[in-house]
């Protein structure tokens, strides 16, 4: 194996790049060996040298991408870096490894370092990496939870009952992801346009949630009309208006709409907070929710058990999960630039954080006062920290969460969540609720729902946005035309 001081190498605690133009060339190692040799001037054994450098760059990405200056790239026998340029070039190297297209440097996309010419086409992701994988894990937990409560798994008690308790944990992960993603999109829109469009936000939200939800409600109405399922009429009304989380002893078939109701109620107010407050007001709103929710849960549990039971699925009790995700997005710039945060999320012992979140949800249930007062809040913060890590650190967890099959499950997660309730009924002995037919039906119906209901409406959203923008531009032109003509006449 070649020595690290031969040719182009990765060294520790050194920075010997004298030509800024050389840095992008040294980072172009995405598989083109001939291009690598010609642009770096290396004339040694290509295959051995390139494989060694690739291994070193993999080490750089997986273990120390967030510790700029500790691992750098240099060429042998080059002059020292000009005085005063070390920090600037080091920051550029860090940005290049992060995958941000800054200062014309290449970015890390799909696990490879690509050149500046390739970056514009590939560096604009339609989805934040790892979030679909996190959604997949969440929906798998929910489906396993409901599956273990069906008659087919009663013989596996108490182990099946233990898995059942992971369902609410999966829903909490959904909430944190939702708050993080929606707030990130709002921030991006605000940076791009100077303000957010309330009308377009509600339209995008309706096109995202309503088609599949109302298709499911329509199917339930037909099944109830044919007397194939028992469903009170008021349940359909509450489900259609996303108020099912306030219904006591509702039907199984609409019971899972409580999470959709909480999200719709939260996002009815959150964009208004965004529109009429500054960053300080948004932070205050998130922190206030995160303080009040555990306080209300604890006080009602201790002093008013009746109110506690009635409000279990209300926004006042569950809204802090979404608020944690919103807070994570609001602090994203500070977290990205904080070297302390970078060092913490790359620690080998970081796996303890997601473990703590699971412990808080599962193990501490027998200690309800502590759980409602602090345990759930700690778990939510651990979930948010774990999401931040898997989005920003390219390690084994990152690659696993971005595998094709897990991303596919994550993309289907909303349809899976809505339709699984039909085939995982714990009180039904029907053949459609038996393993493995019920799982096949869940996957098949969810895939059909995604491709023929969800996706067509999602494709309409950008078309509708362009139409609104064209109307807005035409209105602005019409209002400005009289002033222009008056000026010309003068």
Q: Does residue 85 lie within any of the structural domains?
A: yes
Q: Which of 246, 287, 248, 250 is nearest to 265 (CA)?
A: 246
DSSP, collapsed to helix, strand or coil, labels residue 424 as: coil
Total number of domains in the chain: 2
Q: For the stretch 163-174, what's the b/e string if a residue is b when 16 or more beta carbons lie within 10 angstroms of its beta carbon?
A: bbebbbbbbbbb
- 182 and 64 in a common domain: no
* CA–CA separation, 216 and 213 (whole Å): 5
Each residue's pLDDT tens digit, 92-146: 444 444 333 333 333 333 333 333 333 333 333 457 899 999 999 999 999 999 9
Q: What is the rounded average pLDDT of the residues 235-264?
A: 92
- What range defines the domain where residue 51 resides? 8-122
- 408 and 274 in a common domain: yes
Do 22 and 75 contact (CB within 8 A), yes or no? Answer: yes
- 239 and 110 in a common domain: no
- 172 and 30 in a common domain: no
* CA–CA separation, 312 and 205 (whole Å): 25
Q: How confident is the model at residue 479 (pLDDT cuts 50, 70, 90)?
A: low
- 279 and 366 in a common domain: yes
Each residue's pLDDT tens digit, 58-102: 444 433 332 333 233 333 333 344 444 444 444 444 444 433 333
- 153 and 118 in a common domain: no
Do 21 and 101 contact (CB within 8 A), yes or no? Answer: no
The pTM (predicted TM-score) of the whole model is 0.73
Looking at residue 318, its pLDDT comes to 93
């Amino acid at each position: 194996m070649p020595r690290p001081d031969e040719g182009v190498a990765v060294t520790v605690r050194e920075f010997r790049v004298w030509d800024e133009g050389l840095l992008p060339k040294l980072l172009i190692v995405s598989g083109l060996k001939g291009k690598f040799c010609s642009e770096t001037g290396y004339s040694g054994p290509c295959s051995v040298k390139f494989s060694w450098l690739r291994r070193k760059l993999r080490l750089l990405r997986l273990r120390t991408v967030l510790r700029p200056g500790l691992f750098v790239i240099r060429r042998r026998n080059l002059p020292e870096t000009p005085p005063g340029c070390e920090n600037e070039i080091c920051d550029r190297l860090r940005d290049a490894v992060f995958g941000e297209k800054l200062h014309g440097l290449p970015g890390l996309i799909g696990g490879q370092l690509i050149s500046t010419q390739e970056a514009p086409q590939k560096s604009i992701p339609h989805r934040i990496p790892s979030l679909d994988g996190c959604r997949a894990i969440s929906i798998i937990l929910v489906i396993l939870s409901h599956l273990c409560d069906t008659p087919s798994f009663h013989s596996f008690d108490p182990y099946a009952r233990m898995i059942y308790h992971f369902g609410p944990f999966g829903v909490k992960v959904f909430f944190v992801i939702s708050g993080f993603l929606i707030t990130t999109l709002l921030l991006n829109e605000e940076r791009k346009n100077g303000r957010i469009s309330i009308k377009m936000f509600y339209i995008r939200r309706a096109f995202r949630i309503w088609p599949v939800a109302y298709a499911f409600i329509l199917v339930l109405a037909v099944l109830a009309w044919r007397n194939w399922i028992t469903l009170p009429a008021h349940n359909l009304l509450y489900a259609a208006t996303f108020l099912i989380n306030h219904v006591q002893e509702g039907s199984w078939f609409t019971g899972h709409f409580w999470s959709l109701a909480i999200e719709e109620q939260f996002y009815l107010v959150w964009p208004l907070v965004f529109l009429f407050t500054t960053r300080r007001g948004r932070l205050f709103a998130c922190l206030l929710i995160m303080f009040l929710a555990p306080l209300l849960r604890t006080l009602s549990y201790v002093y008013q058990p009746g109110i506690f039971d009635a409000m279990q699925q209300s926004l006042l009790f569950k809204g802090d999960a979404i608020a944690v995700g919103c807070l994570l997005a609001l602090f994203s710039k500070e977290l990205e630039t904080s070297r302390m945060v970078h060092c913490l999320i790359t620690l080998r012992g970081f796996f303890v954080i997601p473990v703590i979140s699971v412990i808080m949800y599962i193990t501490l249930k027998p200690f309800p006062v502590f759980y409602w007062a602090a345990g759930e809040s700690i778990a939510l913060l651990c979930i948010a920290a774990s999401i931040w890590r898997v989005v920003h650190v390219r390690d084994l967890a990152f690659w696993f969460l971005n595998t094709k099959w897990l991303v596919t499950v994550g993309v289907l997660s909303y349809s899976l969540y809505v339709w699984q309730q039909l085939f995982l009924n714990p009180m039904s002995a029907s053949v459609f609720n038996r393993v493995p037919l019920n799982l096949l039906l869940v996957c098949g119906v969810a895939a059909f729902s995604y491709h023929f209901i969800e996706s067509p409406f999602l494709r309409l959203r950008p078309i509708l946005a362009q139409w609104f923008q064209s109307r807005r531009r035409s209105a602005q032109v019409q209002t400005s035309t009289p002033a222009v003509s008056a000026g010309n006449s003068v």
